[in-house]
Amino acid sequence: EAAVTQSPRSKVAVTGGKVTLSCHQTNNHDYMYWYRQDTGHGLRLIHYSYVADSTEKGDIPDGYKASRPSQENFSLILELASLSQTAVYFCASSGLGGQNTLYFGAGTRLSVL
């Protein structure tokens, strides 16, 4: 079965600190995505990637960086965490990008204090 694993599952960070969220997939999928979920905003795309060593900006990339060192791994980096980045973050993978099913990880609940 398709598997997307996120770590950590929850994190408390201090304002101005660096946060790295990790995602690992065993689906052999080319596409990987980072979304954030906030009440009232639904899911918004932060960054995505369709090949290793390359990332693309989504709709809300400001304040976030992404890294895709291999097909299986995709990280989201908050260099200077801010209060407004408190949210639940979901990683997803897809074999054919936006034209096919996305498989989501369990999510990471990030609280920035």
Tell me: cis bond preceding 8? Omega within 30 of 0 counts: yes
Residue 97 engages another protein in binding (rule: CB under 8 A): yes
Nearest distance from residue 60's CB to another protein, in Å? Answer: 12
Q: How far apart are CA 48 and CA 17, in angstroms?
A: 23
Among the listed ranges 19-27, 32-40, 62-70, 72-80, the one in contact with another protein (CB under 8 A) is 32-40
CA distance 66 to 75: 6
3-state helix, strand, coil in the chain (%, to 5): 5, 55, 40
* x/- letters, 38..77, toward another protein (CB under 8 A): --xxxxxx--x-x-----x-xx------------------
Contacts with another protein, residue ranges (CB under 8 A) = 31, 33, 35, 40-45, 48, 50, 56, 58-59, 90, 96-99, 101-107
